[in-house]
A and B are shown apart, each in its own frame.
Chain A
Amino acid sequence: MNEETLLKLQAYLDGELSAGERTEVETLLQGNAEARALLTELGNTAKTLAAYEAEIKLPETREFYWSKIQREIARQSAPSRVQGFSLAATLRRLLVPTGAFAAVAIAIMLSLPRGGGDGGDYFSASGDAVAFTYQNYKTGTTLIWFDFSSENDFSDASSGDTLN
């Protein structure tokens, strides 16, 4: 038997077939022992399941039980009660975002390089000196580098403490 035949037998048992299909299935059952055996087995299974199906009994009448469910749904979907003016609640509403904003501002300030960057510092080179600065914030070290010509004082070989 193919799957379609099996499904038709189940539908026949459940009374879901049209008159024409019922006649067709009954014709099949008359000439097919396997189909009859299967139909008997399906019928036994259905009876067994029906016998052991748990019966749920409501503690109240059906109408009263559903009215309780309806009231609970209505209660949960109703808008919350409008509260009166509360100074504490108003302050809380104002202070929570203000506090959060302050915390973010403090975090940003703390994350900025401390010790003053070039933005807050002042530097000027005078005379012939050409200089640039570099600051390593991590080690707290600032470099001022001069770009002197070779005739500068620092490379004066005739001087006593020259380095060259």
Chain B
Amino acid sequence: MNLIPTLNLTRIWALVFAVTAWGGGVVALADDGKYEAKVIWATNDEKLPDDKKFEPTDPETRAKLESLGLKWKNFYEVKRVKFDAPNGESGKVAISEKSSLSVKELPGKKVEVVFYTKDGKECSRREQTFKRGEMLVHGGNVPENATAWLVTLKKLK
């Protein structure tokens, strides 16, 4: 009886697939995360003030913001910042003059996101699973003109 398994074509392909998948996983683990943050202005005004040259936010971001049930109808992108998280940690990234955030990748596709105010003071700290396609939104009212500011965060890679 021949106890040595025959290396037929199917077994070879299975071996190639397994090695590729394992290698891909290793590469993915070693890769740095890429993130994108946007400063969004939420308003019900149909017309922007003349000194504001903001563009309406992209449809994906708009759809996610609308899913939160906010009371504002129009969302304008004020600023967009892309940043990396080398070795799973972004450090403090300035999003605007008044806000910054940091992202730390944790096991189990979780992240810890810390939001800072203008003076660098920690404002909030949240830990949750965060995958591509998901969005974390920080926001608050601007009472003077009944609008709101938003900072969106999504994972690019």
Interface residues of A, Cβ cutoff 8 Å to B: 114-116, 120-127, 129, 131, 133-134, 136, 138-148, 150, 152-157, 159-161, 163-164
Q: Is the interface of B mostly helix, strand, loop or mixed?
A: strand
Tell whether B134 is near chain A: CB-to-CB under 8 Å. yes
1/0 per residue, CB under 8 A from A, across B108-137: the answer is 001010010111011111111111011111
Would you call A146 and B63 a contact (CB within 8 A)?
no
Tell whether B78 is near chain A: CB-to-CB under 8 Å. yes
Contact flag A147-B141 (CB < 8 Å), given A121-B126, A163-B41, A163-B147: yes
Would you call B68 and A153 a contact (CB within 8 A)?
no
Contact flag A154-B137 (CB < 8 Å), given A127-B123, A140-B131: no
Shortest beta-carbon contacts, A-B, top 10: A140-B134, A153-B118, A122-B127, A146-B140, A139-B67, A121-B128, A116-B129, A153-B98, A141-B64, A150-B143
Contact flag A125-B67 (CB < 8 Å), given A140-B131, A147-B141, A163-B147: no
**Interface size (B, Cβ < 8 Å)?**
46
Would you call B68 and A124 a contact (CB within 8 A)?
no
Q: Is the interface of A mostly helix, strand, loop or mixed?
A: loop
Report which of A142, A147, A150, A153 forms a contact with B135, defined as CB distance below 8 A.
A142
Contact flag A142-B143 (CB < 8 Å), given A115-B129, A154-B98, A161-B96: no
